[in-house]
């Protein structure tokens, strides 16, 4: 077997232990969350059990990490994300084009979204998670409960998506936003260098 592959496989157990400990979880906590036994998890972390997909996928879901990050896989050499835009008819009635900028399921998702105008009246929706967006171009009308806001390029919105909301272009012209959505209430962290 290729020595670099052996090294990668040997490093998975200790890496899994570090991830669990960094998150403050016991083996019992992780067993309850994944449905795997404490014994299996212990053997996996100590290197006495070979990591297989049926063991790694539940761990990736619980830790909300992509498999390649979970196991510390080496980069493929091509850092580009291959973006596939798709048309999307939002539950709220306004059409949009969504360009996913991240590919990690069940984690904070980032999209560039082009919001198209609609003749239909706005319909506020609610769902689990946390939403944040930055207006790139155009004007965006945001309805948040009984409040109405008009956002311009450079403005941001940051709200719990369990609150009734709707957003779309303020007029007849499309608007562009950079949209972050955390399905589990994840929020973007803002750091200041000043």
For the chain, the three-class secondary structure string (H helix, E strand, C coil) is: CCHHHHHHHHHHHHHHHHHHHHCCCCHHHHHHHHCCCHHHHHHHHHCCCCCCHHHHHHHHHHHCCCHHHHHCCCCCCCCCCCCCCEEEECCCCCEEEEEECCCCCCCCEEEEEEECCCCCCCCCECCCCEEEEEEEECCEEEEECCEEEEECCCCEEEEECCCCEEEEECCCCCEEEEEEEECCCCCCCCCCCC
What is the widest separation between alpha-carbon atoms in the chain? 63
pLDDT above 90 (res 169): yes
pLDDT above 80 (res 105): no
Starting at the earlier edge strand, list the strands of the sheet with 147-151: 147-151, 140-144, 165-169
Q: What is the pTM of this model?
A: 0.54
pLDDT score for 27:
95
Residues for the chain: how many in total?
194
pLDDT score for 194:
45
CA torsion through residues 94, 95, 100, 105, sign? positive
Tokens of 97: 């084009």
Q: Look at 105-109, 127-131, 159-163, 190-194 and tell me which has the smallest mean pLDDT.
A: 190-194
Work out the pLDDT band at 54, boundaries 50, 70, 90.
very high
Closest CA to 112 of 189, 169, 176: 176
Give the C-alpha distances (Å, rounded to integers) separating 117 from 60, 113, 153.
39, 13, 17
pLDDT, mean of residues 109-120: 85
**CB count in 10 Å sphere of residue 175:** 26
Domains of the chain: 3-71 (1.10.260.40), 86-182 (2.60.120.10)
Predicted confidence (pLDDT) per residue in 133-154, tens digit: 999 999 999 999 999 999 999 9
Q: Look at 38-42, 126-130, 180-184 and tell me which has the smallest mean pLDDT.
A: 180-184
């Amino acid at each position: 077997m290729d020595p670099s592959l052996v090294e990668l496989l040997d490093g998975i157990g200790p890496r899994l232990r570090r991830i669990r400990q960094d998150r403050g979880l016991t083996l019992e906590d992780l067993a309850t969350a994944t449905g795997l036994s404490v014994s299996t998890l212990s053997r996996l972390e100590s290197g006495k059990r070979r990591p297989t997909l049926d063991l790694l996928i539940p761990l990736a879901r619980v830790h909300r990490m992509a498999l390649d990050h979970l196991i510390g896989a080496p980069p493929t050499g091509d850092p580009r994300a291959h973006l596939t835009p798709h048309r999307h008819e939002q539950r709220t009635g306004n059409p949009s084009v969504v360009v996913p900028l991240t590919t990690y399921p069940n984690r904070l998702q980032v999209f560039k979204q082009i919001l198209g105008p609609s003749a239909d009246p706005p319909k506020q929706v609610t769902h689990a998670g946390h939403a944040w967006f930055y207006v790139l171009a155009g004007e965006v009308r945001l309805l948040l409960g009984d409040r109405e806001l008009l956002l311009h390029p450079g403005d941001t919105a940051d709200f719990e998506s369990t609150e009734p909301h709707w957003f779309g272009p303020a007029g007849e012209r499309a608007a562009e936003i950079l949209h972050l959505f955390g399905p589990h209430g994840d929020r973007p962290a803002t750091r200041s260098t000043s």
